[in-house]
């Protein structure tokens, strides 16, 4: 097989043999259905701003601009202070913004790093839906920062309003109706989707759809991406053995809701369902215990693909031992950048190695100096010897001063190289999965909960349906 480009690959945290997977489930939004992020998030942003103004916030807010690149997933939102944080795997706040203003090291230290950090005090930006919400919060905070007194509320109160009105925009049709009216503007068709699904079906896998979206919306967008694309599967439902809408994940994995059958296509009328799930019928709600029982499946024979680390991945894996595939769409662009920046990464590693050598050399000098100073302090040594030792000591001290200066310069160089590389990846936040060279909190969560991760679900087509995905994560530092 030709070597796959990085953005087309699957990445493995926990080994998985696709041959032992009998059924593959998919989340819908941002997993099977990819949105044009710029148009879709801008829509959520502006619809919510309209609700702010309608509820008495100043009209100036209508001028706020949506910036699709300011916020990335994995950040934490400090609602109380109006700050946005990037935290490493050791809970250290490495980067932070108050509105558009970057917090310096001292501010980060005083607010966060000087005390024990409780990530639970903050909100995580972990879905694509949260990107526009967070972006709007940042714009509101920035407006309050630049125009004190314009909005007479605390940051937390503003956030509470935001939460309510963005949810309302999703529920009252302000967003969905526009998506459905112009799907070509808001939905990106993945040209490999049909090929991927057919390949999995031909490989003997049973597919299911498990989405939180309601029936009318699911039916419309799935029709848009899959109807009339393949002669064997004229309707989108033909690809899936089971279809579950309004699943209410993550509660689907913790609750005990019954399944309802969706009995009318158009209005989505419901009837309480009993007995096994009938293939090709559409069900609403339900729960994972019942799903496994009614479809006679075992957790580890199911691979579930989703883009939300909590809603889709964490609970399904922890509570039901479903195998998991996380879609990290951002990696598509980032992996291309990382490949291009590989020489810079190697330069950083070389520079770090050189700094370590200098540190070792400085340490050797310090110990020589210590020995000489001890000898010179001993009483009764002869003058000539003493003079020689003093000369040597002076020489070593000068060498050490030069070495320490070199270390400082090397340290500066490393910092510059890291900053340069990070800015080339993302001007505010750097790499999605790293802060400087440390793993980010987001990376740590992905490692903990996703058996596999990849930039698009259609990357599955690049592998055989009996592929053994092997993890090398069990290597210990002393194995390297």
Could you list the residues that contact Mg ion (CB under 5 A)? Answer: 27, 29-30, 307
26 vs 396 by CB, closer to Mg ion: 26
Rounded to an integer, what distance in angstroms lies between the CA atom of residue 290 and that of residue 242?
13
- The least distance separating Mg ion from the CB of residue 27, rounded to whole angstroms, comes to 4
29 vs 334 by CB, closer to Mg ion: 29
33 vs 294 by CB, closer to Mg ion: 33
Helices (H), 68-116: 105-108
- The least distance separating Mg ion from the CB of residue 185, rounded to whole angstroms, comes to 20
Q: Under a CB-based contact definition with an 8 Å cutoff, are residues 428 and 95 in contact?
A: yes
Peptide bond into 117 cis (omega under 30): no
- The least distance separating Mg ion from the CB of residue 306, rounded to whole angstroms, comes to 6
Name the region of 321 (left: φ>0; alpha: ψ -120 to 50; beta: rest). Answer: left
- The least distance separating Mg ion from the CB of residue 348, rounded to whole angstroms, comes to 35
Specify the DSSP element, H or E, that contains 323.
strand 323-327
- The least distance separating Mg ion from the CB of residue 195, rounded to whole angstroms, comes to 21
Q: Under a CB-based contact definition with an 8 Å cutoff, are residues 461 and 196 in contact?
A: yes
Helices (H), 262-341: 288-295, 315-320, 331-340
Specify the DSSP element, H or E, that contains 326.
strand 323-327
Kind of pairing between the strands at 123-124 and 76-78: antiparallel
73 vs 273 by CB, closer to Mg ion: 73
72 vs 87 by CB, closer to Mg ion: 72
- The least distance separating Mg ion from the CB of residue 194, rounded to whole angstroms, comes to 20
Kind of pairing between the strands at 270-272 and 259-262: antiparallel
Rounded to an integer, what distance in angstroms lies between the CA atom of residue 455 and that of residue 43?
24
34 vs 365 by CB, closer to Mg ion: 34
């Amino acid at each position: 097989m030709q070597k796959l480009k990085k953005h087309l690959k699957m990445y493995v945290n926990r080994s998985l043999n696709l041959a032992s997977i009998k059924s593959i489930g998919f989340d819908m939004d941002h997993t099977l259905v990819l949105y044009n992020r710029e148009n879709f998030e801008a829509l959520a942003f502006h619809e919510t701003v309209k609700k702010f103004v309608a509820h008495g916030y100043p009209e100036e807010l209508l001028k706020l601009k949506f910036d699709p690149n300011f916020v990335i997933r994995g950040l934490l939102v400090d609602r109380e202070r109006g700050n946005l944080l990037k935290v490493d795997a050791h809970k250290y706040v490495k980067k932070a913004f108050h509105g558009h203003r970057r917090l310096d090291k001292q501010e980060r230290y005083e607010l966060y790093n000087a005390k024990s950090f409780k990530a639970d005090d903050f909100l995580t930006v972990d879905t694509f839906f949260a990107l526009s919400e967070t972006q709007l919060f940042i714009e509101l905070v920035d407006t309050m920062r630049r125009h004190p007194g314009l909005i007479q509320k605390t940051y937390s109160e503003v956030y509470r309003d935001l939460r309510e009105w963005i949810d309302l925009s999703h529920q009252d049709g302000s967003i969905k109706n526009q998506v459905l009216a112009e799907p070509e503007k808001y939905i990106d068709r993945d040209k490999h989707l049909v090929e991927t699904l057919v390949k999995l079906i031909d490989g003997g896998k049973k597919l299911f759809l498990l989405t939180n979206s309601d029936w009318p919306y699911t039916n419309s967008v799935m029709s848009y991406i899959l109807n009339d694309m393949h002669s064997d599967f004229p309707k989108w439902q033909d690809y899936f053995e089971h279809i579950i809408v309004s699943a209410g994940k993550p509660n689907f994995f913790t609750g005990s809701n019954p399944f309802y059958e969706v009995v009318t296509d158009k209005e989505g009328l419901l009837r309480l369902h009993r007995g096994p799930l009938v293939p090709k019928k559409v069900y609403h709600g339900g729960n994972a215990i019942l799903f496994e029982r009614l479809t006679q499946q075992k957790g580890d024979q199911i691979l579930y693909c989703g883009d939300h680390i909590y809603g889709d991945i964490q609970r399904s894996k922890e509570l039901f031992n479903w195998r998991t595939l996380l879609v990290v769409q951002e990696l598509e662009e980032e992996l291309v950048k990382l490949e291009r920046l590989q020489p810079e990464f190697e330069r950083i590693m070389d520079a770090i190695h050189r700094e370590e050598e200098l540190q070792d050399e400085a340490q050797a000098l310090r110990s020589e100096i210590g020995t000489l100073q001890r000898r010179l302090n001993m009483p009764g040594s002869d003058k000539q010897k003493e003079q020689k030792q003093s000369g040597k000591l002076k020489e070593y001290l000068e060498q050490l001063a030069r070495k320490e200066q070199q270390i400082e310069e090397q340290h500066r160089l490393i910092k510059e190289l890291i900053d340069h590389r990070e800015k080339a990846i993302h001007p505010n936040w750097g790499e999605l999965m790293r802060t400087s060279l440390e793993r980010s909190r987001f990376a740590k969560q992905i490692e903990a909960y996703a058996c596999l991760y990849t930039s698009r679900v259609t990357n599955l087509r690049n592998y055989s349906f009996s592929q053994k995905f092997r993890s090398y994560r069990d290597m210990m530092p002393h194995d390297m």
